[in-house]
A and B are shown apart, each in its own frame.
Chain A
Amino acid sequence: MKTNIRFTHQELVEKSKLGDRNSQFQLYEQYVDAMYNVSMRMLCSKEDAEDTVQDSFVEAFKNLGNFRYESTFGSWLKRIVINKSINHLKLKRIPLVPIIDHEYHLTEEPIENIKDIDIEKVKRGIKQLPPGYQQIIHLYLIEGYDHEEIGEVLEISKSTSKSQYHRAKKKLLEIIKEM
């Protein structure tokens, strides 16, 4: 079953590999909103997100020959969008990870669980977080990346990703609680 998911849109992907513009457009239609939202969450700028998503689709279609169905086309494309968004943040010198010293916090303090959280509050709460915390919350909670993948994307260790996520989540819950 899992194998079948990887081959989602296989026909469109294969035709797009051959340069079929109509198939490329159909793939674009399928994924553009999702990719735009990924980039918007990271960059918080309409223009930057549009540029990033456009570049990502162009790169994806140009390098589609390298896509070997090791993941779904959507995951492959999302990785391109996330990498381009991260590069954009680097160019703007926006910190990807909080500058707070984190290496000496070896234990995670327990976080009080909150039930029946309003998603709108979560969205607003995330926007109030420092940029570095926002990225890690987006990548882990919304994009569904594990700490190993986050480590690769942000060029940090798995343990740093874990500790930063823990702190970010704690901070987010505090903000939500105060709303």
Chain B
Amino acid sequence: MDYFEKHIRDNKALFDEHKADRSKMWAKIESELSNTNPKVVPLWKSPLFRVAASIVLVLLLSILIGITVYGGQQSGSQNNVVSQELLDIDMHYSNLVQHQVQLVKNHPDLSQEDKNEFLSFMDELDEEYGVLKLEMEKNLGNERVLEAIIGNYKKRIELIENLLRQINDSKMINDDYGYTL
């Protein structure tokens, strides 16, 4: 350091020639500091919070897994209930139809031609039933399909009942006629 530099540094206080407007500047500083939001300590930095967060996470995962598995089982059992219900309806109508078809087949007053015509109707309804049953397996919750299956059975029973009524009616006319004579 030469003489010039030393001279300046020794007298550097003389370079402080300005006076700050202290009160005005402090007012702004204080206002800025007051407006500052309180310092936020991130919760995740606290070890206690980390433990609590881990527990919550584990609980949430357990609940999620529980819902998935139990919900799946429930849904399965619900499907089983629907399936069982469908099976019962199917069994009931199937037995009813089989019984009546057998009655038609064994009926002595019906010609073979009438029997064949009737059975061909029943075959068509059987095919329709097959399609509906496949549809039902795909979508058990579809009430319209279920209704269509029941409708299919009812139509078959109605057909059989009509046929049997016709046979009985013709028999009664003949009997009346005979009785009149």
Closest residue of B by beta carbon distance from A114: B4
**Chain A 23-43 per-residue mask, 1 if CB under 8 angstroms from chain B, else 0:** 011001100111111001100
Contact B4 A119 (CB under 8 A): no
Closest residue of B by beta carbon distance from A137: B8
User: Which stretch of B29-37, B69-77, B111-119, B120-128 is in the interface?
Assistant: B29-37
**Chain B 1-19 per-residue mask, 1 if CB under 8 angstroms from chain A, else 0:** 0111101110110111111
User: Does B40 reach chain A (CB closer than 8 Å)?
Assistant: no
A residues within 8 Å of B by Cβ?
Answer: 21, 24-25, 28-29, 32-37, 40-41, 46, 49-50, 53-54, 57-58, 61-62, 111, 113-115, 117, 119, 122-123, 141-142, 144, 169, 173
Closest residue of A by beta carbon distance from B36: A62
User: Does B25 reach chain A (CB closer than 8 Å)?
Assistant: yes
Contact sample, A vs B, 12 pairs, CB 8 Å cutoff? A21-B33, A32-B22, A33-B18, A36-B18, A36-B20, A50-B20, A58-B33, A62-B36, A111-B2, A114-B4, A117-B7, A144-B12
- Chain B residues lying within 8 Å of A58, measured Cβ to Cβ, are 29, 32-33
Contact A53 B9 (CB under 8 A): no
- Chain B residues lying within 8 Å of A33, measured Cβ to Cβ, are 16, 18-20
Given A40-B18, A50-B20, A50-B21, A122-B29 contact (CB < 8 Å): no
Q: How far is the CA of A115 from the CA of B7 in the complex (A)?
A: 9
- Chain B residues lying within 8 Å of A111, measured Cβ to Cβ, are 2
Q: How far is the CA of A117 from the CA of B7 in the complex (A)?
A: 8
Contact A113 B16 (CB under 8 A): no
Closest residue of B by beta carbon distance from A62: B36
Query: How far apart are B34's CB and chain A's nearest CB, in angstroms?
Result: 9
Contact B16 A115 (CB under 8 A): no
Q: How far is the CA of A54 from the CA of B26 in the complex (A)?
A: 8
- Chain B residues lying within 8 Å of A122, measured Cβ to Cβ, are 8
Closest residue of B by beta carbon distance from A29: B22
Residue of B7, B8, B20, B26 with most chain A CB atoms under a 10 A cut-off: B20
Q: How far is the CA of A54 from the CA of B32 in the complex (A)?
A: 9
User: Does B28 reach chain A (CB closer than 8 Å)?
Assistant: yes
- Chain B residues lying within 8 Å of A36, measured Cβ to Cβ, are 18-20, 25
Q: How far is the CA of A32 from the CA of B2 in the complex (A)?
A: 31
Q: How far is the CA of A144 from the CA of B107 in the complex (A)?
A: 126
Given A37-B18, A41-B15, A61-B33, A113-B3 contact (CB < 8 Å): yes
Can you name 13 extra interface pairs (CB under 8 A) apart from A24-B33, A32-B22?
A25-B30, A28-B22, A28-B29, A33-B20, A35-B20, A36-B18, A37-B17, A40-B18, A46-B18, A114-B4, A123-B17, A141-B8, A142-B9
